[in-house]
Amino acid sequence: MRAVTVLGGGIVGLTLARELRRRGLEVELLDSRSVGTGATGAATGILTPPQHTRTPFYQLRTRAWQMWPEYAAALSAESGIDVGYLRCGAIDIRERTIRNPQRELRKLRDSGGRVEVLTRDQIRQLLPDLARSPEAGLRVEMEARIDPLATIEALRRSCHGAGVNIRENLGPIRIEPIGAGGITLVATGSIQLSQPSEQRSVILAAGWESVSAALAVAPSPLPLEPVPGEAITLDLAAPAHLVHFNLLREGFRDPSGNRSIYSWIPAPGGASWLGNSVASGHSVASGDRVASGDRVERTVGDRSSAAVEPTTEGREELVEVARSIFGEDVESRITGHRAGIRPKATRHGGPLLGRWPGRPQLWVATGHYRAGLLIGPATATMVVDSMLDGSPIPEEFQLPG
């Protein structure tokens, strides 16, 4: 193998391109839109280590957490951009934490850092802007944040400086099967693409768009579920810590039991972000429809690469949540709003990583859900090690079939 084409310019695609180029391969990166305008561009930059290391996915997350300080420093040195890495810790004031803080503390005993129970008075001192007055909470040492947009730009500059050929705004790109085990890349219009061969592989790392890109290649469709997420920027002084809380919302069911987890996050420049773990009540993606059982029933080609726009419903949800924690006049402090679609693997085990069954030139790296920013660097190392050295990828991550 001498060359690789990476499909997708989010955190995973860019980290793969950077790692491949560092290993001496010729690399091109293709994106249907502008680099970083998918799920990564809508992220709020939370980095959280797992509570244990009993599964390959949690081991990967632990490895990534350990990598990030050095990785952030390297990116800043290569690009001249501060990616905003800060191990600021977090304050957890979710309902279940308030009800039984000692139980939640025990769950975090293996997180690798200090965890302590906070009283109401301590929370008031740490978070004086809150309109709420929780009875108890937790302060967790081992959480951090980065600036996602700065990280994307740093990765772009790093890749460009290393010689990665980045091509953007190409429109939908499809992977079509050829014969018993080959593939070809098909683009909109007359765009010329480098074709896979014995010396050129392809890594599909296009997040949720990976589903439509590989719809013609069995086993298909990919076992991915699109999970919307939205965030607003607030003209409120950034908290010293990440703050996690939730709110019972009428008629809203989510996997955590009718409560989405919300986070108040220190943003660059002294402002703050408010985002949700699971957005409610609005369409999944322009042109995409998901059938029961989370299987893709239909994907409309050109629309599958349309930018995901913030929604009225999403803004109303976040305003309701912001009022519950900051007071009624907080809506006037909103200065920005963005949205994204996160690819969640629907089979247990973690992201989809490894060689595509029966297609030796094709590899996949997607399905990172909300952990893409955290495990992007560790994903790149694992996949590139496997491509170049034959290092095994855990079976839990590989495509079924």
Distance between CA atoms of residues 260 and 280, nearest Å:
9
User: To which CATH superfamily is domain 90-142+224-343 assigned?
Assistant: D-Amino Acid Oxidase, subunit A, domain 2 (3.30.9.10)
3-state secondary structure at position 198: coil
Q: What are phi and psi of 180, to 5 degrees?
A: -80, -30
CATH 3.50.50.60 fits 3-84+147-222+346-397, yes or no: yes
Length of the chain as a residue count: 401
Tell me if 216 sits within 8 A of 306, measured CB to CB: no
Distance between CA 297 and CA 304 in Å, rounded? Answer: 13
| pLDDT tens digits for range 354-390 | 999 999 999 999 999 989 999 999 999 999 999 999 9
Is it the case that residue 298 has pLDDT exceeding 80?
no
Q: Where in the chain is the domain with CATH 3.50.50.60?
A: 3-84+147-222+346-397
Q: Report whether pLDDT(32) > 90.
A: yes
To the nearest 10 degrees (0 to 180), the angle between helices 148-162 and 56-79 is 70
Q: Mean pLDDT, the chain, as a whole number? A: 88
pLDDT score at 373: 95
Lowest mean pLDDT among 191-200, 242-251, 329-338: 242-251
**Which of the two residues, 347 and 389, has the higher pLDDT score?**
389
The pLDDT of residue 283? 38
Tens of pLDDT, residue by residue over 227-276, are: 888 999 999 988 999 999 987 666 555 544 445 689 999 988 888 999 98
- For position 306, what pLDDT does the model report? 53
Confidence class of residue 348 from pLDDT cuts 50, 70 and 90?
confident
CA 401 to the chain's CA centroid? 25
pLDDT higher than 50, residue 398? yes
* Domain ranges in the chain with CATH number 3.30.9.10: 90-142+224-343
Residue 278 pLDDT class (50, 70, 90 cuts): low
**CA-to-CA distance for 260 and 281, rounded, in angstroms?**
12
Closest to 78 in 3D by CA, of 151, 28, 185:
151
pLDDT in tens, 60-118: 999 999 999 999 999 999 999 999 999 999 999 988 899 899 998 988 877 778 999 99
pLDDT category of residue 291 using cuts at 50, 70 and 90: very low
Question: Percentage of the chain with pLDDT > 90?
Answer: 68
pLDDT of residue 365: 98
Token representation of residue 174 = 């499809």
Count of helices and strands (H, E) across the chain: 9, 20
Q: What is the mean pLDDT of residues 204-233?
A: 93
Q: Which of 147, 148, 146 is nearest to 38 (CA)?
A: 148
